[in-house]
A and B are shown apart, each in its own frame.
Chain A
Amino acid sequence: MRPPRAQQLLVTALAVLVAAYILAPFAWIALSSIQPEKELFSVPPHWVPRILTGDNYRFIFTGKFPAGFAETGLLRGRISEKARDALPALRNSTIVALTVAMANLVLGVVAAYSFSRLKFRGAGALYTFVLASRLLPPMALAIPYYLIVARLGLLDRYGALILIHSAVTLPFTVWFLSVYFRRVPPDMEEAALVDGCTRLQVLVRIVAPVAAPALAAAAAFAFMFSYNDFPFALFVTSTIRSQTIPVIVSATAVNTDVSFGVVAVTVVLTMLPPVAFALLFRHYITRGLITVVTTR
């Protein structure tokens, strides 16, 4: 039975409203990235851009100044050169986030499986760790984390970020997946064990394929957390060798020579990897979440 017309219209209207709320900032930033700087400050804004330009993108990719920025009589012109670090930073962010996701998949899955299937003390401690690792605000954690990483000699290296991000995301991954695993009936695993498989073989050959949605969801959460982290990345990175994209965008945005058009380009570039990741994995995320939120 199709719902009444009025109800359909109401639902559509609400959906459009929500879509506008979600997408408006992205539309604004995307449009700002292809307009010359001066256009961005008109009152009211030019909703349909009057002048389009690739200058901002060209500056990030090649270093050529947008039109008019070099004409002050100054030998160098004024524009935030830090923005040119955006591409290497994007590479850093993506590599670190993917590694953290992998670490969660390997270490987290194996640990979660052991938690759910094998009898040993520590389940209570697990729950405590999951919550405890989120109780202290990042500001209070920054210095101790910095000290740990410094002592390990990992400052300004991918290792620092991978270590910190994994330490923060693993508790959630292990909890999330162990809840999921407990939901899976153990019959097939029992049979395989009787046949002589080790626990690890059972995990890899039987359980993991079935639990793929949950694994993908856990990997996605870990990726997002690592990619979006700012407070920890800020402290433990010091050169473009390891500086991540949030660090670069923030540093660009506070420079006095900042061009908002160029900042807009860095924001657009920032979004590309995680948006691609999120869109690819969204079905898995929902399916993974379903089982977990309905399990006790």
Chain B
Amino acid sequence: MIRRYFALASGLLALTLVVCAVAVAAAPTQLTFTVWSYSNDVVQDNIQKFQARNPGITVALSDFDWGKFTDVMTARFVGKTSTDVSYSSDHWLQQWAAANWIVPLDDYFPQVAAYKPDFAPYAIEGMTYNGKLYGLPYYADTEIFIYNEDLLKRAGFSTPPVTWDDVTKMAVAMKQKKIVEYPLMFQFQDITPDYIEIFLSMVYSHKNPSMFDKTLTPTYDSESSAAHKVARWLVDGFRTTKIINPASLETTEIPLVKAMGAGQVAFAVLPKYNLADLNTPGAHAQAGKFKMALMPGETHGTVGYVRFYAMTKMAADRGKEVRDASWKFLDYFGGKTGGEFTVVKRWALEKGLGFAQLPLYKDPQVRAAINKWGNVTLEEQQAKLARAKEALTPFWGSWSLEFQKEMNKALLGQETPLQALQASAAKWKEMKK
């Protein structure tokens, strides 16, 4: 009798333990994912699909204003609010990595190295700090030269400009023929982060584009530098030939795109996704007339930038389960599922975002989709000539704002282009200390 009860009791105990073990194993790992607010519904859908494939993981999404993203994330990291995976960008990677807010993926997931051959070199460079890789690309793109084909033809030209002298010549012709008063406009507002990228794109299209030497000392403040050539060209276009719209000093990316879409701008340097926007019939009066050309200049080089998924130090410290879940997340969103970069391809097809995952250029669906609003052959060519921004440091953001302010003083005629470059170089040396 007692033996039977004992057997029953041990059986029940064993059953209970098994059930508990299963329950514990099935308790989902919760990841917090922070993004800037762009197509949240697509992001949520991707999350649902990820969760369906990984029943043990749930992802909570938090989204913030793109313009204030780093500000809010700073508060979040300072306050140690639980964050596991986050969007990040090449131009603030240095600050986040040095502050120990995000961690190198190489250290925790050696398997990430397998992806490197697939990524564009400028993207790898943009995600690397101290020799280690910090993320997988969300999207990557290049600054391209966009022109209004209709305005070009009306001025009597059949092919887009190939050098910056061509640009001047064509712009002057447009101005003289009264086709458009200011053929060029730039997003040169004092504090917009795009300004420096546009300037660098123009510098990189020249020979000997380096602005810093190996010890990260500025070399661009000399008379013969490519930066000086670009600065002189800009000041010339602003003040002498008047082919550059003086309103550039108040303009950021969106107003520039709106003005161009309305037919007020013939030539602009913009991130490539804007080409998809400009050719959207409902949004712009001149939709359909916009084309891309290789960046004018001797080398046709330009800036390539990357936005990526990063894992936080907080996630790394939360234990093996969270780390594994984070890797599954990163792999799903920035890597391959079923042999294909599914999420990245979806962004390319649905929103026209650029990508650093090069195999996608072989995908016929992607090629066809891009060709509807752009030119995939040219795009591939431009991507090969794109360089990551050089000399990124934790104080690069601060320096770039000073650079922009000084350049604007030159555009307003308050100082010469060389003085502007020298002033910002001096600031760099001060900040480097």
Contact = CB atoms under 8 A, between A and B. Distances in A.
Does chain A bind chain B?
yes
Interface of A: 36-38, 41-43, 65-79, 81-82, 85, 142-143, 146-147, 150, 155-156, 234-235, 238-239, 247, 250-260
Nearest to B63: A239
B275 to A, nearest CB: 10
Interface stretch (B36-44, B291-299, B321-329): B36-44
Contacts of A256: 38, 253-254, 257, 273-274, 277
B62 A239 contact: yes
B71 to A, nearest CB: 8
A27 to B, nearest CB: 20
Contacts of A70: 282
B39 A81 contact: yes
Interface in B56-110: 61-68, 71-72, 75, 78-81
Interface string B251-272: 0011001110110100000000
A73 to B, nearest CB: 3
A250 B67 contact: yes
Given A235-B75, A250-B67, A77 B258 contact: no
Interface of B: 34, 37-42, 61-68, 71-72, 75, 78-81, 253-254, 257-259, 261-262, 264, 273-274, 276-277, 279-285, 287, 349-352, 369, 372-373
A75 B67 CA distance: 26
Contacts of B61: 239
Contact of B283 (A147, A235, A259): A259
Given A41-B261, A74-B349, A143-B78, A247 B280 contact: no
Contacts of A37: 282-284
Contacts of A68: 280-283, 287
A142 B75 CA distance: 8
B259 A41 contact: yes
B183 to A, nearest CB: 16
A66 B281 CA distance: 11
A72 B352 contact: yes
A255 B38 contact: yes
A289 B120 CA distance: 65
B351 A255 contact: no
Given A81-B40, A251-B66, A256-B254, A71 B259 contact: no
Given A43-B264, A74-B351, A78-B283, 5 more contacts: A69-B283, A155-B81, A254-B254, A257-B38, A259-B283
